[in-house]
């Protein structure tokens, strides 16, 4: 079974600075997807960014980008120009290509953006 | 366009009781997945419904059951509640077109907070 590990339970960053959240995963599969989800106090999971394992290029969405190292099974999230609204729990998640949206989540990282 | 809606938002039940949680998927979506998120942890997959049938199931006991209706809405039922069932229950919907291929985005509701006392 696949596992997802987030080794940073909590992190903080000053507004406008850059922060990187770490994620590692374990799988023997070759075709899969990786995601970062944001969960603010409203509790709703919001997709931040996704990466297809077959793509070598790292995904980017505005201020959010990933560093995907397939051989190392590492998938970190970089948030540039941090904003107060980025304060939330962040979850890394894994999905097999044939899993029909069955996600395996990590334990989460609580990010606090300080003014 | 309404997103994924769940009801109720909060619920308190007594040990041994039964509970039903409800989910209406995002308009146009045909697949509903349920997750349990214990306090301070990541969500865990319970099961997924497509075409009114359970298509995939995570490592949860038979006390957890579900149903999907012709309008694609779904219910999660938990029998013989335990204190350990206290958690946030999240519903996610997607449009899978009947193919189990992970290239569609799942949209989540705001969850139901279940407290078992």
Looking at beta carbons, which residues of chain B come within 8 Å of A41? none
- Comparing alpha-carbon positions, the chain B residue that sits nearest to A34 is B102
Q: Is A48 on the interface with B (CB under 8 A)?
A: no
Q: How confident is the model at residue A98 (pLDDT cuts 50, 70, 90)?
A: low
Q: Is B83 on the interface with A (CB under 8 A)?
A: no
Measured distance CA(B32)–CA(B95) in Å, rounded = 9
Do B88 and B37 form a contact (C-beta atoms < 8 A)?
yes
> What tens digit of pLDDT does each residue of B48-107 get?
998 899 988 999 999 999 999 999 999 999 999 999 999 999 999 988 765 555 556 789
Residue A24 in this model has a pLDDT that exceeds 60: yes
CA-nearest of A44, A64, A66, A43 to A55 is A66
User: Which of B21, B41, B42 to probe the A interface (max A CBs under 10 A)?
Assistant: B42
Tell me, rounded to whole angstroms, the distance of Cα B111 from its chain centroid.
Answer: 9
Among A81, A83, A103, smallest CA distance to A94 is for A103
CB contact under 8 A, B55 and A100: yes
**Percent of chain A predicted with pLDDT > 70:** 97
The model's confidence at residue A31, banded by pLDDT at 50, 70 and 90, is: confident
d(C-alpha B71, C-alpha A53), whole Å: 34
- Verify whether the Cβ–Cβ distance B43 to A43 is below 8 Å: no
Q: Does B2 reach chain A within 8 Å, measured CB to CB?
A: no
Query: Which class for B66: exposed (0-12), middle (13-18), buried (19 or more C-beta within 10 A)?
Result: buried
Of residues A53 and B115, more confidently modeled: B115
Non-local (6+) Cβ contacts of B92 within 8 A are A45, A101, A103, B4, B32, B33, B34, B35, B106, B107, B108, B109
Output the 3-class SS for A11-65: EEEECCCCEEECCEEECCCCCEEEEEEEECCCCCCEEEEEEECCCCCCCEECCEE
pLDDT digits (tens, 9 = 90+) for B105-115: 789 999 999 99
Residue contact B101–A97, C-beta within 8 A: yes
CA dist A30 and A96 (Å) reads: 9
Q: Closest to B56 (Cβ–Cβ): which among A42, A45, A102?
A: A102
CA distance A58 to chain B (A): 17
Q: H or E segment at B20?
A: strand B19-24
Q: pLDDT category, A86, cuts 50, 70, 90? A: very high
pLDDT at residue B109 in the model:
95
A85 three-class SS: helix
Average pLDDT over residues B30-45: 95
Nearest to B96 among A43, A45, A101 (CB): A101
**Percent of chain A surpassing pLDDT 90:** 77
C-alpha distances (whole Å) from A99 to each of B21, B57, B101, B115 are 24, 11, 6, 30
Contact residues, B window 11-70, toward A, CB-based 8 Å cutoff: 31, 33, 35, 40-45, 48, 50, 55-56, 58
């Amino acid at each position: 079974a696949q596992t997802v590990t987030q080794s940073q339970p909590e992190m903080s960053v000053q507004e406008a600075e850059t922060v990187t959240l770490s994620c590692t995963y374990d799988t023997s599969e070759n075709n899969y997807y990786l995601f970062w989800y944001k969960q603010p106090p409203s509790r709703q999971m919001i997709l931040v960014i996704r990466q297809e394992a077959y793509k070598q290029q790292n995904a980017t969405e505005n201020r959010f980008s990933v560093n995907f190292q397939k051989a190392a099974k590492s998938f970190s999230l970089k948030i540039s120009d941090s904003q107060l609204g980025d304060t939330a729990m962040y979850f890394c998640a894994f999905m097999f290509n044939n899993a029909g949206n069955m996600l395996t989540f990590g334990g989460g990282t609580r990010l606090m953006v300080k003014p | 366009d309404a997103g994924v809606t769940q009801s109720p938002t909060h619920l308190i039940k007594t040990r041994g009781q039964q509970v039903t949680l409800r989910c209406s998927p995002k308009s146009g979506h045909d697949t509903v997945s349920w997750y349990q998120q214990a306090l301070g942890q990541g969500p865990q997959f319970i099961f997924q419904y497509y075409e009114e049938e359970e298509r995939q199931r995570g490592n949860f006991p038979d006390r957890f059951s579900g149903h999907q209706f012709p309008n694609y809405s779904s219910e999660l039922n938990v029998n013989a509640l335990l204190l350990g069932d206290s958690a946030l229950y999240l519903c996610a919907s997607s449009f899978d077109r009947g193919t189990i291929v992970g290239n569609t985005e799942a949209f989540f509701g705001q969850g139901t907070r279940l407290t078992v006392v």
